Structure formats: C-alpha cells, structure tokens
A and B are shown apart, each in its own frame.
Chain A
Amino acid sequence: MVRTVAAVIAGLALALSDTASASAQGTAQVSPPSTCAEYAGVAAPGDWACVNGTITRYSPTGAISSVTELPEAAAAVSPLAVVDSYTSNVTEEVLASLNGVGYRIPVSVKTRLYNHSPRLTMGYSSSKAVSLIWSVRVRRDNNLAPDDTVFTFPDAYGSYTRVGLFTATEGERGDGYNSLPYDGKRYFIDLYNLRLYDGKSTLNIQGSVQSDRMTCYKTVSCKFN
C-alpha cells in the first residue's frame, strides 16, 4: 500500500489551516488532528467526509475540492480484528458533514473464508436517515506499489428514508465463489467508492474500509495471518 509523505504533510497542512481558523476565533491552541474523530472536532464549515484517515472536502457544487490523509491513514490495519485463521471482523467509522447534518456511521465487514471463496457480511448503522452506497472488491496488497484489483462484487447500499442497521451479504457460493487467487500472495476485501446520499446530495467519499490481510495459497485454503 502506497502512502506518500507528501500526502501526510498535505493532510497536516490542511488540519493546521482548520485549527488555525479555530485559534483565530479565540479557542485554545490544539495539536493537529491525527484521526477522523479528531478532525471532526476541528473541521471548517462545509461538506466533508473522513474514513480511515482520508479526508475528502467538497465545493458548494458537490465536486471534490481536496483529498488529504491524516497520520491515521498510514497506520497498518489492526491485527486485533482477526477472530481466527478463517474469520475477520473489521469496523471503521465514516464521519461526514452533509448539508449541515453531521453523520457518524460505523461500517463493518465480516469475512469468513471457505477455501478460496469468501463469505462477506457487510453493513452500517445510522441514527439519521442516510443511504450509504459502496462497491466491494478483492485486492492484492503490494508492498511499495499500487494495490491490484483481482475481483469485483456488485454494489451494496442502504436506504435514505429510514434509520437503523443495513446489511448486505455475499455468500461463499454466490458471485465470489472461487474468486480468491492461488498464488501465495496477500489479499484483502475492500469496501470502496463510498457514496453518502441524504435524498438531496451525494458525497463521493475517498478512502475505504478494508478487511484484514489474508494469504491465498496454491494448494490449501486462504487464511488470515
């Protein structure tokens, strides 16, 4: 996974500009945010979203005006999410402000491996009516080079007319049957191309929610490790 130093510095610069405006209004000096949760506390007005340390800000027309990465984005995925060699359960929060409404949406992906076929249980919950739409893919985790997509699932989404928990499942004998490679490399499930829709506007959110890393062997089952 590639994380450029420039991106992190750019993220800090943006955070500093936000905190500087807060300071100018008489608030106490605070250190730059390093996580989405910290950023939510100091973000300048306007539409924005933050997931996994990647901040997306939008112009009034809805176009993306900037994408920056917080130090959180450079951190490795927590190994604590691995339940056993064949199960991983990851939850990441999507924080966003859209049309003046703040959202804090936990997005989860549980991955259960059946040989080279993943079973995915994905979902999100929200106390405010908003639809989260996401794409799902299997990616190879390359060191010091862009990651590769090796399989793409159909999109999943929830409703913007009601609140609560929304889930989507990809069974191990469904679209992703035998979709994981046989080459001994490391792969992960990637919930990406996240879109937040409140019935009026859509935020196209950069950043993704990723499962733990699994190794997919030539002759035995894929395993989380």
Chain B
Amino acid sequence: MSRPLQLGDLIQAMLASRPSGVNANFETTYVDGSRGESGRCYFQTAGSWVVEIEDGPTLISTEWASLTVTKDSHVATPGPRIRPPSRPPWSMVIPSLAPIFGRPTDDWYIHRGQNSSRTATLVLESLAHPDAQAQALVDLDHLFILELRTPSWASRLDPYQTIRDDLKAQLQTVTQHVWNPDQQDV
C-alpha cells in the first residue's frame, strides 16, 4: 500500500549515499527504439568501479588512474581517473550524480513522491520545460535509482547480490598495476 513520503528526508539520504560493493546490470533504451549504453557494472566505491558497456569498451577507474579496454581488439589504454558522469549507470548507483534534484546544474526537480514498502516513485518535472515530466523509482533500502524514465529514454538498474569475480578482478588489476602515486614515491 502506498503512503505519503517524507521527500526532504529521502532527498538528503540520496544526496549523501555512496555505493559500496554494488553489482548490477544496466540498460538504457530510447523512444526511437535504439539501445543506449547497457551492460554490467561493479562499484567497489564511488571512486573505484568497472563499467562494461555492451558492444562498447570496458571502463575501469580508480581514484588515480583508469583503463579503457576495447571489446574487439582487447587493447587496454591507460589514462587518468574517470570522473563519474551524471548519466546511467553512474547516476543510478551514486544518486547525487543524477540531475533530478533541482540544482542549478540539474535538468529535473522532484515534484512529488509516493512510497510502497521497499521503493519510492518520484514524479519529476523539467526545470526548462514545465510541461515535461519524468519518473524515478528508488530502492529505499540501498537508495539506488532502479528506473529512470524521461520523455526520450528509459534506464533500468538491476542490482544483484553475488559479487561478479571477473569485474572485481579487472578492478584489482588496475589498482595493482596501473600507475600508482604511492608506488612511485617508494
């Protein structure tokens, strides 16, 4: 049964939420029928993560370095850390990145919300176009955004409990072998 939601409390909790040991599948589809970035991800923390994009590269980033591994050639390109962007899956696992809180840099603000036992449904209104609405489904236990639906696209996050060892191993490889300022100083 749905009941009124303390929106202020939920917003504060979402803005403060940081992931730890999160595994998930993610999928984005556009209203034109095309498929956006989809795949699997593993977030050890907000700053150390692996995002494997289906038909695209695998992005692996720690606090100080990253590897971009292309799918076909398996070429691994080292680089600086990748700052988590404000799009799925990052914005669904780290909700403070989602442009839905009515901040000057956001696209949406939360107009109203309603919760059931484990989730909350938030109705979003566009800051630029008041007639445009979107919707977010939030997991109240973990504060992930499970679904985000806008007029032009929809994203889904399916977290699962079992740690995917292959993604975790890729992250550990980067952590151990890519340039590390602490090692450099030794």
Contacts and interface: CB of A to CB of B under 8 A. Distances in A.
B85 A145 contact: no
B175 interface: no
A162 interface: no
B69 to A, nearest CB: 12
A153 to B, nearest CB: 9
A151 B86 contact: yes
Given A182-B53, A185-B36, A177 B150 contact: no
A142 B107 CA distance: 13
A4 B86 CA distance: 27
Contacts, number: 94
Interface stretch (B6-14, B55-63, B158-166): B55-63
Interface string B86-104: 1100000000000100001
Size bracket, chain A contacts: 20 to 34
B99 A149 contact: yes
B70 A219 contact: yes
A34 interface: no
Interface stretch (B40-48, B110-118, B124-132): B124-132
Contacts of A151: 83, 85-87
- Determine which residue in A148, A175, A178 has the highest number of CB atoms from chain B within 10 A of its CB, and name it: A178
A145 B152 contact: yes
A152 B90 CA distance: 13
A148 B55 contact: no
Contact of A218 (B56, B81, B128): B56
A179 B83 contact: yes
A177 B80 contact: yes
B58 to A, nearest CB: 11
Contact of A177 (B83, B86, B107, B132): B83
B132 A181 contact: no
A221 to B, nearest CB: 12
Interface in B1-56: 28, 30-31, 34-37, 53, 55-56
Given A173-B79, A178-B66, A193-B105, A145 B71 contact: no
Contact of B132 (A146, A182, A185, A193): A146
B37 A182 contact: yes
B129 to A, nearest CB: 5
Given A148-B107, A148-B153, A2 B129 contact: yes
B152 A142 contact: yes
Contacts of A182: 37, 53, 56-57
8 tightest A-B CB contacts, nearest first: A182-B56, A145-B152, A150-B87, A145-B151, A142-B152, A218-B56, A183-B36, A151-B85
Interface of A: 2, 4, 135, 137-138, 142-143, 145-152, 173-179, 181-185, 193, 218-219
